[in-house]
Chain A
């Protein structure tokens, strides 16, 4: 087999099961890659090297004992640092939880371990998952492996960058307004937000409880589907978990046929404010879907233009309530406990010291939106917009099997470019928020590099609740057809950065003559 860090999860799992390579070798190869590149990329907040090798050895022992292992047993994974794992600190990239080792595993973590997946460590994010660039991490930004001056998206920039830097073949992300899909889009990787309730939230540190959803991230559609199947399903520890079988996502990813599918292009998600290269690659992908046998129609979702404002009321409102638990009494940071301050004063001092600027901004905003006199105008109106957006989706899904749009209006922007302009930053989630508010299934798939900057473009697919398999059908069909055009996966263009040869050199640009025409 080829180089281990360039091999996908499905192939690694098969090789480990066949005994061609050991889980320990695979894990060591990825740990070595982390050593080589993470000083530049900074995808990880914590690398659990010793524990990862232990986990891998256990898989090798189980295999040696004749046990039949699952398809991802022995495959390394990067876990977003917002899910609890007893073997490492869970910090949510906040000073508030610096060094906090949780006393229990999240259900997602437990399922990964049961499947024999090797957890390499915890990945960086915007503090408490609030942001679109991973610049809001209290431990410093993550860099995009395609161009280390650029953001890897957010909040799950660490998980997406780990994939693009070949530090792990699969990763777990969480998506509240686009935090799996937008990082996937700007790093040329696959990111899936399952239907709300499709994956347990037990042990996922809550940002906005009615929106948060964990999901799979990978470099290929099949790898994402295999991981989706591992983490999905009902959990009695989460009362909002859906008690139904996981949609047949792996079969859909293998099948990858869009013949006869009706695909709706959302009229409102395009036009002014969208980069030319994003629109170009999106339109080409849509044309390709038609060639592959899908029937493409234009649909109108008139209320999607109100999704972003509604989200930035609902999310901060839920956040201001959820983050009240960080009161310095039972876990995390405590400041000013010197005998001269009351519990309330200690709380206020701790929250001032422990939270970063964006978290404070959203807590204050949410407190305002929920305060008496403003509740009806802000939070109440936003909840009504949520209804209107769900109605738009319901109507569109009467005539379409899935909807598509660009995942995010631009390619990766430069680190620092939007740091002082919260409203500009929030617009990165323009296209991903409608599905978050509606709680349906959505994913981002790479569809090429924008000609103007050579950076990845993602196409978003949105499907009705519990029709997650449709995302994979479209994603797999696109992936197969595009890789035929390109002569290989999109990340082949990435090798200069990720091999650690000279990570500060700019990566291969789109106009480089050595590159395949179709991709550039």
Chain B
């Protein structure tokens, strides 16, 4: 299972991590070794086995729709990287051309 540096770069873009060139070069062989060591799961994962996504047999949980006070705005914004007029301030979302 060869994983190229370009593939690592593509995955990093998907994961929104601006990896440095060094990190990409380091990660590619490491991930390859990890993927080799985990590939054996396919040996026993035959068609007749039902997958498990969660250890508990879950059903949706409902509660009555009661109005409760939410956290104070100041408390929530206290940990924000930037805030303005009681809102989170975020960098521009659309580029110039959009």
CA–CA, A377 to B27, complex, Å? 21
Smallest CB separation, A442 vs chain B (Å): 12
Known A-B contacts A346-B91, A381-B42, A439-B56; A102 and B79 likewise in contact (beta carbons under 8 Å):
yes
* Among A163-171, A328-336, A473-481, the stretch in contact with B: A328-336
A383 and B51 contacting across the interface, CB-CB below 8 Å: yes
Asked if A240 is at the interface (CB within 8 A of a chain B CB), the reply is yes
- Asked whether any CB of chain A lies closer than 8 Å to the CB of B67, the reply is no
Chain A residues whose CB sits within 8 angstroms of the CB of B60 once the complex forms: 239
- Residues from chain B with Cβ under 8 Å of A347 in the complex: 16
Q: Collect the chain A residues with CB atoms within 8 Å of residue B34's CB.
A: 312, 361, 365, 422-423
Partner pick for B14 among A102, A357, A367, CB 8 A cutoff: A367
B82: which of A236, A303, A334 is its contact (CB, 8 Å)? A334
A486 close to chain B: CB less than 8 A? no
CB contacts under 8 Å to A, within B1-40, are 3, 8, 11-20, 23, 27, 30-31, 33-35, 37-40
For residue B55, which residues in chain A have a CB less than 8 angstroms away from its CB? Answer: 196-197, 210, 390, 437-440, 465
From B78, B88, B91, residue with most partner A Cβ within 10 Å: B91
Contact count band on A: 35 or more
Residues of chain A within 8 A (CB-CB) of B78 are: 101, 103
Return the chain A residue nearest B54 by Cβ. A210
**What is the CB-to-nearest-CB distance from A102 to chain B, in angstroms, rounded to a whole number?**
7
For chain A, what secondary structure do more than half of its interface residues adopt (helix, strand, loop), or is it mixed? helix
Closest to B31 in A: A365
* Chain A to chain B: the 8 pairs with minimum beta-carbon distance, closest first: A439-B55, A383-B51, A334-B81, A381-B45, A384-B45, A309-B38, A352-B18, A103-B75
Of chain A, the residue at the smallest CB distance from B61 is A239
Q: How far is the CA of A144 from the CA of B64 in the complex (A)?
A: 48
Chain B interface residues (CB < 8 Å from chain A): 3, 8, 11-20, 23, 27, 30-31, 33-35, 37-46, 49-56, 58, 60-61, 63, 71-72, 75-76, 78-82, 88, 90-95
A77 to chain B, nearest CB (A): 24
Closest to B96 in A: A342
CB of A252 closer than 8 Å to a CB of B: no
Q: Which of A459-487 contact B (CB under 8 A)?
A: 465
One digit per residue, 1 when the CB lies within 8 angstroms of any chain B CB and 0 when it does not, for chain A 384-414 equals 1111101000000000000000000000000
Taking a contact as CB atoms under 8 Å apart, the answer to whether B17 and A313 are in contact is no
Q: Are B71 and A387 in contact (CB under 8 A)?
A: no
* With known contacts A103-B79, A342-B91, A343-B92, A386–B11 Cβ distance under 8 A: no
**Are B56 and A422 touching (Cβ within 8 A)?**
no
B13 to chain A: closest CB distance in Å?
Answer: 8
Cβ contacts A286-329/B at 8 Å (1 or 0 each)? 00000000000000000100100110110000001000100111
B38 to chain A, nearest CB (A): 4
Interface-centre pick from B23, B39, B43, B55 (highest chain A CB count, 10 A): B55
Q: Is the C-beta of A378 less than 8 angstroms from some C-beta in chain B?
A: yes
Which interface residue of A100, A101, A197, A386 has the most chain B CB atoms within 10 A? A386
**Cβ-closest chain A residue relative to B39:** A309
Residue on B nearest A421 in the bound complex, by CB: B33
Q: Do residues B42 and A387 form an inter-chain contact, with CB atoms below 8 A?
A: no
Contacts of B14 in A (CB 8 A): 367, 371
A63 — which chain B residues lie within 8 A by C-beta? none
Question: Do residues A380 and B80 form an inter-chain contact, with CB atoms below 8 A?
Answer: no
Which residues on the A side are within 8 Å of B94 (C-beta)? 342
Cβ of A387 and Cβ of B50 under 8 Å apart? yes
B11 partner residues in chain A, CB cutoff 8 A: 364, 367-368, 371
Complex CA distance for A240 and B59, rounded to whole angstroms? 9
Choose from A312, A332, A386, A440 the contact partner of B51 (Cβ within 8 Å): A386
